[in-house]
Amino acid sequence: MDGKLRTIAQKIQEPKSAIFYISIACLSHWKANVSETHMKQRLLTLLLLLSITSQLFAQPNYAPPSGVYCSCGPTTGNGFGSVNPQVAQKDFVQGILVRIGWNLCEPQEDQYDWTLLEGQITAAKQYSKKISLAFVNGKLVPDWVFAKGVASMQVLAPNTLDTIVAPWDSTHLHHWTDFIAAAGQHFQSDTTIRLVYITNASTNGCEMQLPFNSNPSLASLSYSDEKVINSWKTVTTAFKDAFPNHYLSNDFHPVNGSNVVADSVYAFASSSIGTRYGANAWWWTQRNTTVYPAQYTLLKKSAAENPFTGVQFANNGTQDSASFGAGGMPEALAHAIRDKVCYWEIWNQDILNPEFEMLLSSASCLNTGILPLAKKTLEVFPNPNSGKFQIKLDHVVSETIAINVYAGHGELVYNAAHSNKDLLEIDLGKLSEGIYFLEVNDAQVVYRQKLLIR
C-alpha cells in the first residue's frame, strides 16, 4: 500500500468508512496510473485489502458488558463450576466470570476438551446471564508443556509452592498462542460470552504481576521488562485475532516493581485492538487506588478513552469490610462509578448478602454518583428506630426529594416525594422488624443508608 492509502487507513476508525474510503482511493489511484490490462489484477489485490481491513476493524455487535458480574469461584472439573445457581437467580446480576485452567481445556498437546466450558455456557443461558471468560495460565499450564523443558520458577509464598512458566519462554508462547487460536476457532461466535480476558504466564495466571520471591529468581532467569512486554504483545495479538467479535481486557499490576510493562502493554493493546478493548483492575478497593497509583491512573485513562473499562473487587465486604478502606464495599462501588467505570466483578458473598441487595440492584452508571452515608452529607436519626425517624440532608439541589424504602429482599415498602427542607420527618407506619434500605434521590445524586427497625 502506498503512503497516501496507509495514511487514510490509519485515520479512519469506523469499519464501513474505512472500507469505502480505501476503495475509492485505490480505484482513483489505479485508474490514473495503470492500464486496463492490469486492472483485474489490481482489483483482486483490492479485494484482499478489503478483507484484511474488515478483520482489522472488527467490532462486537452488542454494547460493552456493564453492571454486576459475579467474581465467582473457578471452574475446576471437580464438580465446581463458576455459574452459581443462587447468584445466577439474582435479577441484578448481568453475568458471571468463568475462570478455567488451560490444563483442563488441553490436557494433551493439540487435544482440546471444551466440555467444562460449554457446560458453564449452558448453565448461564438457563438463567439468561452472560459470561466473561478467563483462561487461566500460571500454575494451570498443562504438564506436557512443563515436560518440554520450559523456563519455569516456583512461587514462594505462604501456604503455597506453585510452579509457573516464565512468560517470555518461546516454547510456552508457541503453545499458548496455539491454544488461544483453537479456543477462538471454537468460541468466537458465541454470544453468551461477552468479554474475553487477555491472560499470560503470571503469578496466578490471570493478573499481570510476577512473583516477588521465586526460585530461581527473576534475575537468574534473565528477566527484563522488554522480554515481558514482548510476550504480552504476542499474547495480546493472539487474543485479538482469535476473538474478533468480543470485547477484550486484561488486569494491570506493577511487574517486578516497575510500571513500564503495564504502561507499554496498555498502549499496545489500545492501539492494536481499538474500541473493543479496555483496562481492568483486579485489585479494586478504594484503599488500593493509593497502593497502585500508576495503574489507577491508567484505569481512569481507559475509562475516558474506551467504551469498556472494568474492575474486580479484591475482597468481599461481607467478611472483610475493613480491607476496602473507609466506607467498605459500598464506597468501592461508588468510587468506581465516580470514575465512570461501569463493569464490576463482585464476590458471590456480597451478591448473596441481603444487606447489599438494594445497593447492587440499583447501582447504575447513569447517575453522577452513588454515595453511602457520610455525616457531612446525610444523617438519619434515630437509627435503629420504630419506623419513625428524621433525615437531615446537606447541600440539597432539587426542589422535591424522592424517598424510597426497600425491604431486605428488594420489595419497595415506602415511596413519597418531599419538598426541600433541611429536616424531613418520615413515618413508615407498621413494618416488621428487620433490616431495610433507605434511598434518597436528590437530582442526579442517590444517597443510601441501612435502616434497622425494631
Q: Tens of pLDDT along the chain (454 residues)?
A: 444 443 344 344 333 344 444 444 444 444 445 555 555 565 555 444 444 444 444 568 788 899 999 999 999 988 789 999 999 999 999 999 999 999 999 999 999 999 999 999 999 999 999 999 999 999 999 999 999 999 999 998 777 789 999 999 999 999 999 999 999 999 999 999 999 999 999 999 999 999 999 999 999 999 999 999 999 999 999 999 999 999 999 999 999 999 999 999 999 999 999 989 999 999 999 999 999 999 999 999 999 988 899 999 999 999 999 999 999 999 999 999 999 999 999 999 999 999 999 999 888 875 333 334 333 467 888 988 999 999 887 766 667 888 888 776 557 889 888 887 778 899 998 888 887 888 887 755 667 787 888 8
Describe the chain by its helix, strand, coil percentages, rounded to 5: 40, 25, 35
Q: Supply the pLDDT for residue 11.
A: 40
Task: Give the residue range(s) of CATH 2.60.40.3080 domains in the chain.
Answer: 378-453
The whole-number pLDDT of residue 395 equals 64
Please give, one letter per residue, the 3-state secondary structure of 23-76: HHHHHHHHHHHCCHHHHHHHHHHHHHHHHHHHHHCCCCCCCCCCEEEEECCCEC
Task: Return residue ranges of the chain for CATH 3.20.20.80.
Answer: 67-366
CA–CA distances in Å: residue 265 to residues 66, 286, 443: 23, 24, 40
**Quick one: pLDDT at residue 406?**
79
- Burial label, 122 (beta-carbon count in 10 A; 0-12, 13-18, 19+): exposed
pLDDT of amino acid 191: 94
How many angstroms separate the CA atoms of 229 and 161, rounded? 26
What number does CATH give the domain 378-453? Answer: 2.60.40.3080
Does pTM top 0.75 for this prediction? no
pLDDT at res. 54: 43
| Distance from C-alpha of 112 to C-alpha of 106, rounded to nearest angstrom | 5
Task: Give dist(CA 112, CA 134) in Å, integer.
Answer: 16
Contacts of 60 (CB under 8 A, 6+ apart): 194, 245, 246, 247, 276
Q: Tell me: domain 67-366, CATH 3.20.20.80, correct?
A: yes
Nearest alpha carbon to residue 438 among 392, 376, 397, 396: 392
Alpha-carbon distance of 327 to 387, in angstroms, equals: 25
CA 281 to chain centre: 8
